[in-house]
Structure 1
Amino acid sequence: MPDAQLALPSQPRVDFDLLKTWTGRCEEHGQCLPDEASELERFKVIDCETRTVQRAPEKCSFVALSYLWGPQEDFAPQPLPAEQTGTIEDAITVTLRLGFRYLWIDRYCIEQTSIMDRTLQIKQMGQIYASAHLTIIAAAGTDPRHGLPGVSQPRQVDQAVTEQIGPVTLVQLKTSAASNFQRSMWATRAWTFQEGILSKRRLVFTDEAVLYMCQSDYHHDLAPGYSSGVNYELVALAEFIQCARLPREFRSSAGSSRFKEALRYVTAYSRRNMRMSSDALNAIIGILNYISNDRKEPIFHLWGVPLAPLTDVENYFDTTVKRYGGGTPKATPREDYFEFALNWIHPKPGRRRGGFPSWSPLGWEGPIEYPLQYMDIVIPKEFDIRIHPLKDAESRPYLRHELKHGGQIQYEGKDAISTKLEIISALVAPVQLLLEDNGDARITLKDGTTLDPEFETYWDEDLGGRDSNMKAEDTGRGEGEPWLVWQIGCKTVRKRRYHYVVLRLGNDGIYERVGFIIAWKGRSDAGLLDATWADPIPCDRTESLFIA
Structure 2
Amino acid sequence: MKSVFRKLKSRKKDDADRSGSASVISNASGKQPVPQPDAQQNSASSQKGGSNTLSVTSTKPIDQIGNILALPASSVAEDPREIIHINPPSICPICYNFDPYHAPPDGDAANTPWACSEYKIPQDTPIARIDVEKSEQLLEAAKAGCLYCVMVTSSLGAVQPGWENEKSFVHIFLAAGLPVIVRLQFGGTSTVTMTREQMLGMGVELPEGQTMNFVITVSDPEKPPIEVEIYRPIVPDDQITVADIAMSPLVQHVGFADEIPPHAGSQECFDFIKDKVGTCVKTHTCTKDGVLPMLPDRVLWVEANNSSRIQLLEPQSIRAPFMAVSYCWGPPEPNAFLTDAKTLEAKKAGIRFNDLPPLFQDIVSTARVLGIEYVWIDRLCIIQGDENDFGKTAPKMGDIYGNATLTIATASAVTENDRILVPRGEKWFAYDLKVNVNGLGALTLRFRRRAYSLGKESSGGEYGKISSRAWIWQERLLATRTVFFTDGALKFECRCHSFWEGFDRGLVGHSWSSQLDSMTHIKWTGLVEEYMGRDITRPSDRLPAMDAVMKRIERATGWTPFWGLWANALVESLSWQSKESSQSSKHECRMNPGHYAPTWSWASVDGPISYVSARPFSVMEENDPMQWDLECRSLNEASGLIRFAGHIILLELHCTVEPNILYDENPTGQDKYSYRYEVKGPTDLKGFPMKADVAVKPWSGTLNGEQVSTVIRVPYGETPPTQPWSSHCLCLLVGKRKMRSLVLFLGRSLRESGAWERIGMVDGISPAVFSLSQRQLIDVV
Q: What is the aligned partner in structure 2 of residue 122 from structure 1? A: 394
Distance 1:486 1:262, change over 3 A: same
Q: What is the aligned partner in structure 1 of residue 560 from structure 2? A: 300
Q: What is the aligned partner in structure 1 of residue 748 from structure 2? A: 505
Shift of residue 215, structure 1, vs aligned partner? 2.4
Secondary structure at 2:567 match in 1:
strand
Secondary structure at 1:435 match in 2:
strand
Name which of 101, 105, 111 aligns with 2:377. 105
Q: What is the aligned partner in structure 2 of residue 10 from structure 1? A: 261
Check conservation: 2:324, 2:401, Cα contact below 8 A: yes
Check conservation: 2:293, 2:403, Cα contact below 8 A: no
Q: What is the aligned partner in structure 1 of residue 299 from structure 2? A: 45
Greater mean deviation of Cα atoms: 65-74 or 509-518: 509-518
Check conservation: 2:554, 2:560, Cα contact below 8 A: yes
Matched, 1:461 2:675: no
Structure 2: runs of 5+ lacking an equivalent: 1-24, 31-232, 234-258, 305-310, 581-586, 618-624, 659-674, 698-713
Distance 1:172 1:496, change over 3 A: closer
Shift of residue 72, structure 1, vs aligned partner? 2.8
Deviations 1:416-460 (A, max 9, x none): x34x51425454221110134774322245xx324288x885321
* Distance in 2 separating the partners of 1:496 and 1:178: 38
Q: What is the aligned partner in structure 1 of residue 530 from structure 2? A: 268
Q: What is the aligned partner in structure 1 of residue 360 from structure 2? A: 88
Q: What is the aligned partner in structure 2 of residue 173 from structure 1? A: 448
Scaled by the length of structure 1, the TM-score of the pair is 0.69
* Distance in 1 separating the partners of 2:384 and 2:627: 42
Check conservation: 2:644, 2:779, Cα contact below 8 A: yes
Q: What is the aligned partner in structure 1 of residue 118 from structure 2? A: none
Distance 1:70 1:221, change over 3 A: same
Partner AA of 1:505 in structure 2: R
* Distance in 2 separating the partners of 1:346 and 1:421: 21
Distance 1:178 1:148, change over 3 A: farther
Q: What is the aligned partner in structure 2 of residue 214 from structure 1? A: 494
Once the two structures are superposed, the pairs formed by residues 242-321 of structure 1 within 5 Å of their partners are: 242=512, 244-245=514-515, 257-294=519-556, 297-308=557-568
Check conservation: 2:572, 2:628, Cα contact below 8 A: yes
Scaled by the length of structure 2, the TM-score of the pair is 0.50
Shift of residue 84, structure 1, vs aligned partner? 1.0
Shift of residue 193, structure 1, vs aligned partner? 0.5
Name which of 317, 342, 352 aligns with 2:591. 352
Distance 1:449 1:497, change over 3 A: closer
Secondary structure at 1:65 match in 2:
strand
Shift of residue 345, structure 1, vs aligned partner? 1.6
Secondary structure at 2:359 match in 1:
helix
Secondary structure at 1:27 match in 2:
helix
* Distance in 2 separating the partners of 1:504 and 1:45: 50
Shift of residue 505, structure 1, vs aligned partner? 2.5
Secondary structure at 1:440 match in 2:
strand
Shift of residue 260, structure 1, vs aligned partner? 2.5
* Distance in 1 separating the partners of 2:516 and 2:540: 31
* Distance in 2 separating the partners of 1:37 and 1:56: 17
Matched, 1:193 2:469: no
Partner AA of 1:266 in structure 2: V
* Distance in 1 separating the partners of 2:435 and 2:293: 63
Name which of 607, 624, 632 aligns with 1:366. 607
Rg larger for: 2
Deviations 1:386-427 (A, max 9, x none): 42xxxxxxxxxxxxxxxxxx5xxxxxxxxxx34x51425454
Matched, 1:441 2:706: no
Distance 1:14 1:66, change over 3 A: same
Shift of residue 269, structure 1, vs aligned partner? 0.4
Structure 1: runs of 5+ lacking an equivalent: 248-255, 311-337, 388-405, 407-416, 476-481, 522-532
* Distance in 2 separating the partners of 1:384 and 1:113: 42
Greater mean deviation of Cα atoms: 38-47 or 271-280: 38-47
Deviations 1:307-345 (A, max 9, x none): 32x6xxxxxxxxxxxxxxxxxxxxxxxxxxx65611112
Deviations 1:243-270 (A, max 9, x none): 64388xxxxxxxx753223222211101
Distance 1:373 1:221, change over 3 A: closer
Distance 1:437 1:185, change over 3 A: closer
Q: What is the aligned partner in structure 2 of residue 428 from structure 1? A: 648
Q: What is the aligned partner in structure 1 of residue 253 from structure 2? A: none
RMSD, aligned α-carbons: 3.9
